[in-house]
Structure 1
């Protein structure tokens, strides 16, 4: 899987687009509070065995879970586009590795783990939820040009292992101590549909993906709460003839208006890369279709996506958290569904 995309510096024009997206997400949250569906969703999920963990927004608009690990307060990035759950060196310092313990671990997600460098989070507290013996790799979580607020990253292995539901608009991570029964799973799905949600199946071949259509072109999009923006791969954009959105006026001393663009930054060696902005006639995810949608365009091979001949070849875009919020998305790791309920 890939490492997260996070914006470094957003120019004024793109900042306006981001503000509009965030405003749409805010309207959705306000509408939930007004009609009671926001609180009733949490109440309902608590009744059927889920425990809510409140998520905070960082300076860079990331979703963070505050917890306690080895007796110290730690912040964890909630990143559905990440690979394996990870800790920085400082957060892992007091933890034992599989090599130090002289054991192998039988994990419900990864299977048998024998890598001696993997550490065990023997007791992790997130809100009122306690997690035992959660494996993590240790890595340098630095980013060029950006101060990193979090001490670790919760990735899809954590979400699958703990039957998680992520409420992108309501900023809640829901967890369970045991697998829901088939009857409970069916009842939850029925309740969500009656509440106005529509479900989109999630593929699991490479990360967590959904089928979408970009101007009637079929694509797979990575569902990625770690990405600020929703983006398409530059090779796809070229193939289907997407063009860059330009400023209304040219800069001083120039006759040609500049493209709307920004820089996006990945963790570690990924570095910073230029992203330009395009406008789609239509974007369809599941049965939901939007018109005149602005998305970023970047070379996703730098994040090991859309690599010709590789496992990630078919993943040609990213559904980032600004759009996930606007769509009222619930990411359901047990049922392998993306539930959407956008507000008008």
Structure 2
């Protein structure tokens, strides 16, 4: 029987190596608008997010939104939206990806308090859905359809 990686490659998927943090999240390097950053993978997050404090670094042009973001351990958070961005994970690219900007200090506090590195953002279900994601937890691989 063929391996999952070989099977998905034949079906047009690309593989992206994941690393596990001390908090048991998967972390991955991504490129947003040509700038490399560190992101955690969160299947429970509806949208891909970047910290408000990282907007300039990633060249994010944002506008106010009525969206109120909420996450584990936090109440409603004010959010902004950056509607058209180039997002890349390995060889997988998405043009015109909307990115939500919000205060990720509570996320980074949780990570750094458990000896993990702070992250620039979160990859949410929007990217996973668009890429028809398959996650191999044992081999720590993310597969996205080109």
The offset of 1:260, in angstroms, is 2.3
Unaligned runs of 5+ in 1: 1-183, 246-258
1:292 offset after TM fit, Å? 1.9
Pick one of 40, 44, 49 that aligns with 1:226. 44
Looking at structure 2, the residues matched to 273 and 230 of structure 1 have their Cα atoms a distance apart, in angstroms, of 15
Matching residue within 288, 293, 311 for 2:116: 311
Kindly indicate whether residue 141 of structure 2 is the aligned counterpart of residue 325 of structure 1. Answer: no
How many residue pairs get aligned? The number is 143
Q: Contact 1:212/1:283 (CA < 8 Å) preserved in 2?
A: yes
Two-structure CA RMSD over aligned residues (Å): 2.3
Give the TM-score, by structure 1 length.
0.38
Q: For structure 2, list consecutive stretches of 5 or more residues without a partner in the other structure.
A: none
Higher Rg of the two aligned structures: 1
CA offset digits 1:85-133 (Å, max 9, x no partner): xxxxxxxxxxxxxxxxxxxxxxxxxxxxxxxxxxxxxxxxxxxxxxxxx
* Bigger helix share: 1
Higher percent of residues as strand: 2
What are the residue-to-residue correspondences of 1:141-290 with 2, within 5 Å? 187-206=3-22, 207-245=25-63, 259-268=64-73, 270-290=74-94
- 1:191, distance to aligned residue in structure 2 (A): 1.3
CA, structure 1 residues 237+297, in 2 after alignment: closer, same or farther (shift >3 Å)? Answer: same
What SS does the aligned partner of 1:334 have? coil
Change over 3 Å in CA distance of 1:339–1:221 after alignment to 2:
same
State the shift of 1:306 in Å: 9.1
TM-score (norm 2): 0.85
Cα drift, residue 321 of structure 1 = 1.0
Residue 291 of structure 1, aligned match among 85, 91, 95:
95
CA distance in 2, matches of 1:336, 1:203: 7
Query: Which has the higher mean CA deviation after the structures are superposed, 187-196 or 331-340?
Result: 187-196
